[in-house]
Every structure is written in C-alpha cells, then in structure tokens.
Homo-oligomer: A and B are copies of this chain.
Amino acid sequence: MKLTTKGRYAVTAMLDLALHYGEGPITLADIAQRQGISLSYLEQLFSRLRRQSLVASVRGPGGGYSLGKEAREIFIGEVISAVDENMDTTKCHGAHNCQNNERCLTHDLWSDLSNQIYTYLNNISLQDLMDRKAVREVADRQEHGDVDASLLDQVGTPAGV
C-alpha cells in the first residue's frame, strides 16, 4: 500500500467537508486554513476527488465544494483510492508475475494483506468518523478559532485580520 500525506490530506479534507455540511459550499481556502494544508496542493487533490464524483463544485463567489453523496455513503477507501491510485501491497499488482513471469513465494501474503486493508477502510464511512467523540472534539477546537501562536506562525497571519 501507499499511505502518504496525499491520502491523509484527502481524508482529512473530506471529513472537514462533511463536518460543515449544511453551510453551503465550502471553499478550499477555508479547508486549507482549518486543516493546515497547502491550498494549491488541495486543488490537486480535489481535482481527483471531483473526477470520482466524491465532491461537487460550484464556481464563482459564494462557491466551493460539497460532498458528492451523503457522508454515510462515502468510504475512506474510496477517498484514498481516488488520490493515491492503489492500496495494493503486491509487487506484481495482482498479475502473479513478479518473479520471472511466475508467482513469487509471497504473493498470496501481500494479496491477503491488501484485502484486509481494503476491507477495513471500505467499511468506515465519513459519517462513522463524524460520530466519533475524538473527531468532534478536534472539530470543535478548529471551529472556535482556538488559535495559538504556533498556528499563526505556520499559516501566516494576514495583517490586521
């Protein structure tokens, strides 16, 4: 599997979107600010998420993104796949040919592991995450502009705002 910040950011951003459902379209600038992710990087990720219909977009002032379907119907595995390509851990990517065009000794092990991970992540929806107490707590912290010095340092403070 490949689990990098790309996949992590995508899930975080989608969760942010889910948490602000009902407030109309959410701008990437908002998400970038709240979650501490680079705006341009988010644009890249959302380009992929949109192609998979995981999000819907509205352009122009007042525009932004919203979930492409209900939070209950969006699974973490989908989100990661959308941006990270594959969660496969085999070397042959399922082709059974990584050693001289034949199956290597450990193919089945990696294949089983992939299924394990795949099943796990595809049984957790954004709604499931939203229902978790720990997630609610972090979301509240982010909501209340509970901003400390380190945040200001990192994100950059627009003078006078």
Contacts and interface: CB of A to CB of B under 8 A. Distances in A.
A105 interface: yes
A16 B105 contact: yes
Interface residues of A, number: 43
Copies of this chain present: 2
Contact of A89 (B3, B103, B105): B3
Interface stretch (A21-29, A48-56, A63-71, A114-122): A114-122
A152 to B, nearest CB: 9
Given A100-B150, A150-B100, A35 B117 contact: no
6 contacts: A8-B91, A35-B105, A100-B148, A102-B138, A103-B134, A106-B129
